[in-house]
Structure 1
Amino acid sequence: MAVGCDLEVDVNGEETFMVDKKIISSYSGRLRKLFGKSTGSARNIKVIFNDFPGGAESFELFSRFCYNNGRIDTTPCNISLLHCAAQFMEMNNSVSGSQNLMEQTEKSLQEINDWTWSELLMIIKQCQGLFPSVDSSPILEKCMDSIIGRISLYSESSPCLSTSSLDSSGIRVSCDSRSTESLKSSFSRATWWFEDLLVLSLDLVEMVIKSMVLQKFDNAIISKFLMYYQKSKFYTATLDEKRKLVETVIDMLYILDWNSVLCKSLFEILRVALSLNISKCSRNKLESMIGSQLDQAALDNLLIPSPHGMAHLYDINLVLRFLKAFLHDGKSQVTSMRLKKVARLMDLYMGEVAPDPCLKPSKFLALAVALPDSARDSYDEIYHATDIYLEVHSGLSEEEKMKIYCVLNCEKLSAEARNHLSQNKKFSSKSAVKALKSQQLKLKSLLQGTNNLKGNGGSPSSLGEMRSRGKTNEAGEQIVLYASKFELSDSEKLRAHLQGMQCRVMELEKVCRKMQTQITKIMKSRVSSHSNARSLPKLCS
């Protein structure tokens, strides 16, 4: 058969090919549609492709297939180019009984388990470079499945795996007499694949991570890879690429077990994200993850500068959102121990932000009352932070001062702190006394509620119990009366009375706890015995 060159093909402006129109079009449905059914011998026909997948290299492979009567050796080096060329040129029909190119590439994919690790990575890299108009997903999906399978298999099988061993068909364990030096230059057992997968685009990384999650990979290893990938790609990326990179990493970390992600890593992402103006959705996800691990954070992590345009030094609103996320964490239980760790952290944070002259009273109060009273065994740090804040913000109104005084639980102050408080001139104002009286009234209300609870349980069954109740009521009234005797004009008397009042508060609290314990025992005893004839034990000796 005579072979002519009556067709000129310009491929993406890279290279021009002179080919036989009849031979080429017999294998390409796209060209047959272009030329129609004409069999004329018109010359100087030119076709321009601006989006041929794989460019000149791919078209040359396609031409070889056509000139070789529909036969070509399909290898890992060319399979993706041949597959995409066949798809672009619509080579779905067999010619003269020969197998079409699409069928040949699909058949070659069945041998994917025999390909080396390097060949798989090369194919994936080729697929990423092809034009997006061509669907290379069948090859990509099979390669990605093979990649993930080998990561899982080799990570479990070889404690000192080197990348060179992956280029063999089997698993080679290189732990000979030179193992010490070998380990220094090879990847660790769990993370040997990190650097190799840097060739993946962001979309493919997302595909890999989702597949790993479905296959129950170790979430801690996945999170480390995401951090490694983000750091490796970040500095060479454009601003938009950086934003997309950080958002994708956050989205992928969010679907993992949050406890597997290091708190330190989350704060590293946060500091990067704050400068990129990431989406609100991604920011909320990141804040939720950080909030869930707030008990693992350090003070330096929280000292984040306030957003541009804000007067105060630190981003108080961000920390308040962390606290909200911590208290409403649905993925892990907020235990008493975790709560107290966060309270200690917040005490330190309040002491750090208190000297800020631009910090509004409402924000300082929000930090102080964000956690329940049970989170703190001592209010000494809160008192010191409050003392600093009042010293810096001497121009507060009496109403604002009173609100700040009320955040202190004087009962949980140490003797040293109470002594300091009694001599502190900032707490000798009228509003301070009102705040202390308010605390005592709340205490009296609590005491009356406790007595009512006891009264509902039945009438006293012994003279000792009646005396006990009388003593408790008398103590409560004495404390309230004691507070009412303050002379607002005499600061020295106020300090002296304050010390006495704190001691009485502690005594009363002990009585209340003892009453509650005894009442609980009484009720349990009644339920178990079903008898009303048994006399109640004394509440107080």
Structure 2
Amino acid sequence: MAPARASDSSSSLSIRTIPPNIRLSRGSSPPFRLDKELLAKRSSKVAALLDENPYTDLSCFFENMGVDPETLEMVARFCHGFDISMTCENVIPLICISHDLGMTDSHSPNNLLSKALSYFQHQILPSWDLTIRALRAGAHSFEHAVDIGLFDHCTESLLAHALLDPSLVAQTDADRPNNHITTATTTTTTYRSLSARRKLFCADHSTRPTEELTSLPLEIYEPVLEAMARRGVPPEATAGSLLLYLRRHVSNHNCKGEVIEAIERLLPKNHPLPPALLFELYTLALFSGAGPGCVHGLETRIGKQLDQATVKDLLALNLDVESLRRILKGYYGNFTDPDPSGLVVVADLMEDYLTEVASESDLDPPTFIKVAEMVRSTMSIGSDRSSDAVYRAVDVYLDKHKKLSELEREEVCQVLDFQRMSSDACDHAAQNQRLPLRVVVQALFVSQLQLRDNVIRAVGQSGNFSNVADGEEENKEEEVKSAREEEETSERREIGEGQKSNCLCERRRKKKVSLWKEMKRKFGCMGSSNGYEKMHDCNCQVRKKKKVHPNK
């Protein structure tokens, strides 16, 4: 076919002065030649360059443009008058290069840019599959596509499809290999009744689209999904797509930190995820070297759903003290439920967690003490809750770390609060040879005090004073009350002197604080918003003096 030689009288270029050919290389393939005269007739940019200097080295010009050889060869074929075959794989690069070269109809009729744009608009954008394939193939021209608006058109097309059929965003297929995700994406099936309306957009109605958003590179996938989340695509669909993207990009442990960071940023803010998946994301974030913002964000998300976790989940995370503190802060800082049952669940969870980590041989005393103090703070959700679990953890820790010095054992035992322990636990502690002598004495005092309380309570309830005169009974009650208060005060003073206190400040509260507000205060969730401050300012226990009410 003879190449078309379109004349352009508007060009001031003297054709006779133009060297005839440009020799262009295309990688390992043989080079090809492009007629400068034909190129100048189609490209206003080349025409302007040659008008200034007919001997301009156009080969360097094209190399600086960074155009791939296949696209450049298609441009050469078009300039020589040959038909070119446009596909979803080459249309975006063709639009980009023809735009750069100024191959517009105003310079030459029926030019390449208008033909490529028409094909893009009528053949690519109506189809979900073709739009994704075009974006994927044009990844190397992504920045250019953004500049000239092609990316926005692709995003709008995909968004229109997704709003009509959200299941397209996270397509689920039970037969897909290695697909073990059971997430909220299953709820997207409720939107499939809308799939019929996709006929307005899809060129091919015979089959369901098969291309997935997760096949896009991260620099394209992230802004597309962000636009969908912002424009009203259901969070179940976007969350499901993110998890599918995670599965696709963490195979063979070849996961980059930037992928985890992007997924964490895109996760729906108020949409809960299965705890197991959050734990997996957290582990991958640490493994891949994700930034601290990503790690802390996942810790906050885990904290919000901490009441759904298990001890096994927490142990698998291999948390350090500060990470555990942030997770607890994430829970108490977002707790607004008037039902305190969630607080009880977390308190039980932390008690079991402390007992498990106490048996780890590489856990040093300072770390154990910090974790135990956090656990003791979570127990402060009711005056009737005992601290037996902390005692059991201390006993396990001392048994597994028998080489600790006397001073180190005493420091570990500072977390014990015998006055909140049951009588059985106090009796056991009073005979526990693993405890330091001073701690054993404290446990013995409290055990005797509890025994006397039980005896007096039993005697008062037995009715043995029923035959005593009223005046004599009142005198005896006053004597018992006075003697008891005096002895109790003396013994409590001895206990207080023997037990070390870590309290750094005095608590002077005149009004009762609600249950969850107290927990928020302890874990640093009230008052300050600077970073991750300390979860509480003092570790002392407020002990109110018991009042004796003799039975009448």
Cα offsets for 1:209-257 (capped at 9, x unmatched)? 211221233324322321221221223686xx6222222222223xx22
- Aligned partner of 2:192 in structure 1 is 158
Q: 1:335 to 1:103 in 2, by over 3 A?
A: farther
- Aligned partner of 1:201 in structure 2 is 217
Q: 1:471 to 1:404 in 2, by over 3 A?
A: farther
- Aligned partner of 1:272 in structure 2 is 284
1:121 lines up with 2:155 in the alignment: no
Match of 2:102, SS state, is coil
2:416 maps to amino acid: L
- Aligned partner of 1:324 in structure 2 is 329
Write the distance in 2 (CA, Å) between the matches of 1:237 and 1:127.
27
Cα offsets for 1:280-319 (capped at 9, x unmatched)? 222222222222322222212222476xxxxxxx744433
- Aligned partner of 1:374 in structure 2 is 380
Write the distance in 1 (CA, Å) between the matches of 2:67 and 2:47.
21
The answer (yes or no) to whether the contact 1:410–1:418 under 8 Å persists in 2 is: yes
Shift of 1:34: 3.5
- Aligned partner of 1:80 in structure 2 is 92
Shift of 1:338: 2.4
1:363 lines up with 2:364 in the alignment: no
Shift of 1:76: 5.1
Q: How does 1:60-459 map to 2 (within 5 A)?
A: 60-68=73-81, 78-92=90-104, 94-95=106-107, 98=109, 101-103=112-114, 105-106=116-117, 111=122, 115-130=126-141, 135=146, 138-154=149-165, 155=167, 157-158=191-192, 168-169=202-203, 196-235=212-251, 242-253=256-267, 256-304=268-316, 315-329=320-334, 336-370=340-374, 371-375=377-381, 377-396=385-404, 400-427=408-435, 429-434=437-442
2:397 maps to amino acid: Y
Write the distance in 1 (CA, Å) between the matches of 2:477 and 2:117.
90
Write the distance in 2 (CA, Å) between the matches of 1:470 and 1:99.
114
* TM-score under structure 1 length normalisation: 0.66
Write the distance in 2 (CA, Å) between the matches of 1:85 and 1:57.
12
- Aligned partner of 1:57 in structure 2 is 70
Aligned residues: 437
Match of 1:17, SS state, is strand
The answer (yes or no) to whether the contact 2:123–2:203 under 8 Å persists in 1 is: no
Cα offsets for 1:244-278 (capped at 9, x unmatched)? 2222222223xx22542222112112222222222
The answer (yes or no) to whether the contact 1:7–1:18 under 8 Å persists in 2 is: yes
- Aligned partner of 1:522 in structure 2 is none
The answer (yes or no) to whether the contact 2:303–2:328 under 8 Å persists in 1 is: yes
Q: 1:128 to 1:67 in 2, by over 3 A?
A: same
Match of 1:260, SS state, is coil
2:396 maps to amino acid: I
Write the distance in 1 (CA, Å) between the matches of 2:478 and 2:43.
101
Structure 1: which 5+ residue stretches go unaligned?
Answer: 175-185, 187-191, 307-313, 442-466, 489-505, 515-538
1:18 lines up with 2:26 in the alignment: no
The answer (yes or no) to whether the contact 1:270–1:286 under 8 Å persists in 2 is: yes
The answer (yes or no) to whether the contact 2:99–2:113 under 8 Å persists in 1 is: yes
RCO higher in structure (CA 8 A, sep ≥6): 2
The answer (yes or no) to whether the contact 2:44–2:107 under 8 Å persists in 1 is: no
The answer (yes or no) to whether the contact 1:378–1:413 under 8 Å persists in 2 is: yes
Match of 1:274, SS state, is helix
* TM-score under structure 2 length normalisation: 0.65
Q: 1:394 to 1:81 in 2, by over 3 A?
A: closer
Shift of 1:349: 1.3
Q: 1:123 to 1:137 in 2, by over 3 A?
A: farther
Shift of 1:122: 2.0
1:27 maps to amino acid: R
The answer (yes or no) to whether the contact 1:6–1:21 under 8 Å persists in 2 is: yes
Cα offsets for 1:148-204 (capped at 9, x unmatched)? 221221246525979x999954877x9xxxxxxxxxxx9xxxxx97x6123211011
CA RMSD of aligned residues (A): 4.7
Write the distance in 1 (CA, Å) between the matches of 2:20 and 2:478.
114
Cα offsets for 1:57-89 (capped at 9, x unmatched)? 3234434544459x9897756531331121232
Write the distance in 2 (CA, Å) between the matches of 1:120 and 1:293.
38
- Aligned partner of 2:44 in structure 1 is 29
Shift of 1:414: 4.1
Write the distance in 1 (CA, Å) between the matches of 2:128 and 2:311.
45
1:429 maps to amino acid: L
Match of 1:424, SS state, is coil
1:203 maps to amino acid: E
Structure 2: which 5+ residue stretches go unaligned?
Answer: 6-14, 168-189, 450-475, 498-542
Cα offsets for 1:324-357 (capped at 9, x unmatched)? 3333348x66963222222211111111111234
Q: 1:481 to 1:237 in 2, by over 3 A?
A: closer
The answer (yes or no) to whether the contact 1:9–1:48 under 8 Å persists in 2 is: no
- Aligned partner of 1:521 in structure 2 is none
Match of 2:287, SS state, is coil
Q: 1:479 to 1:170 in 2, by over 3 A?
A: farther
Q: 1:436 to 1:28 in 2, by over 3 A?
A: farther
The answer (yes or no) to whether the contact 1:198–1:229 under 8 Å persists in 2 is: yes
Q: 1:405 to 1:55 in 2, by over 3 A?
A: closer
Shift of 1:429: 1.8
Shift of 1:206: 1.0
Shift of 1:388: 1.3
Write the distance in 1 (CA, Å) between the matches of 2:61 and 2:544.
95
244-253 or 340-349, larger mean C-alpha shift: 244-253
321-330 or 153-162, larger mean C-alpha shift: 153-162
Cα offsets for 1:86-117 (capped at 9, x unmatched)? 12323357125x36544555555554797222
Shift of 1:2: 8.5
Q: 1:165 to 1:264 in 2, by over 3 A?
A: farther
The answer (yes or no) to whether the contact 1:287–1:325 under 8 Å persists in 2 is: yes
Write the distance in 2 (CA, Å) between the matches of 1:170 and 1:2.
35
Q: 1:47 to 1:483 in 2, by over 3 A?
A: closer
Match of 2:363, SS state, is coil
The alignment-based identity, stated in percent, is 23
Match of 2:226, SS state, is helix
